[in-house]
Amino acid sequence: MQKIIVVVLIFLSFASPAFCVDASYKEVLISSTTNAIRVRLPLTDVTGKVRVKELSTNGFGQPVAPLKVALDQNFYLEWQIGYDTPNTNSPSVVPAIQFQRNGETKYGHEFSKIIFDAVRLGLISTNKLANELRSLKKIGTFDLEKDEAMQLEKDTNRATDGFQREIQLVPQFSLVTPDGSVQIQLKQKQRAVGFQSMIYVCLPLNKVLTMDGSPRPVGKAKSKETVYYDFTKGNAELILDIIHAFGMASQQHNADMQQILGKILAETAKP
């Protein structure tokens, strides 16, 4: 029995680092150059925060298997974007952005780093960020999670073996720009009653890049392939659109975003 345990432990000691390296491509990474913020996104993590979808004629995104489909301008990346984390061990965290939520310390992460670096690089001016902060404060009691509700429609003309056909209608809010779109999607809470709002950034595949900065060529995805999206002065307004989407999504997101913007403005004002 002891020999079996020793063998298992030896196997795990070799397998765990390999597993971590193997899974690292799934992580969204934020870095910056002298004039751009580069976001690395996984192209083949079909169960994670970033998924490839095909744009249908009715505007609904249909998930696809990226390893089996030639990806062209009719496809896009749907990225469920976040802005905080409870720990500081991620390369995309900003420890200086620290705030409290329900008694827990949160640190700026992912989207917070994008905003922070955008101001630091001059892609977004502090005046524009301050204006956005004032805009968030004016939203007031507007709260999609509480104000919107799912509707149920019965199709009186269709039934199967006695089962009535019904359609659930869940509101979704979208803002389309030349550089990508922002969606506020309402999802049913898994461990509570009601809805929770999630923000998705949709990036057309003809806007994403390879590691060397060139446009990704049309074709099937390779195993564990990653792609890149650059925020520059030319498309920095999309960052402000994402901020505003969080401000609309819920009062909690609004309050968090106000704290994050306030911390960024304070940090960038330091000599």
**Sequence-ordered list of residues with C-beta below 8 angstroms from that of 112, at least 6 positions apart, any chain:** 83, 84, 94, 97, 260, 264
Domain limits for position 233: 28-155+164-268
The pLDDT tens digits of the residues spanning 177-236 come to 999 999 998 887 766 666 788 999 999 999 999 999 999 999 999 999 999 999 999 999
Q: Structurally, how many domains does the chain consist of?
A: 1
Whether 57 maps to a domain, the answer reads yes
Tell me if 265 sits within 8 A of 129, measured CB to CB.
yes
In this structure, are residues 84 and 251 in contact, taking their beta carbons and an 8 Å threshold? Answer: no
Lowest mean pLDDT among 27-36, 190-199, 220-229, 256-265: 190-199
Instruction: Tell me phi and psi for residue 48, to 5 degrees.
Output: -100, -155
Domain membership of residue 114 (yes or no) is yes
Residue 257 lies in a domain: yes
Residue pLDDT, tens place only, 57-101: 766 788 999 999 999 999 999 999 999 999 999 999 999 999 988
CA distance 197 to 174: 13
| Within-domain flag for 246 | yes
9 in any annotated domain: no
pLDDT of amino acid 7: 39
In a domain, 122, yes or no: yes
Record the tokens describing residue 181, joined without a space: 């779109």
Task: Assess if residue 245 is contained within a domain.
Answer: yes
Does residue 54 sit within a domain?
Answer: yes
Alpha helices in the chain (DSSP H): 2-23, 111-120, 126-139, 144-147, 237-249, 251-268
Classify 243 in phi/psi space as left (phi over 0), alpha (psi -120 to 50) or beta. alpha
pLDDT of residue 26: 87
Token pair recorded at residue 241: 């659109």
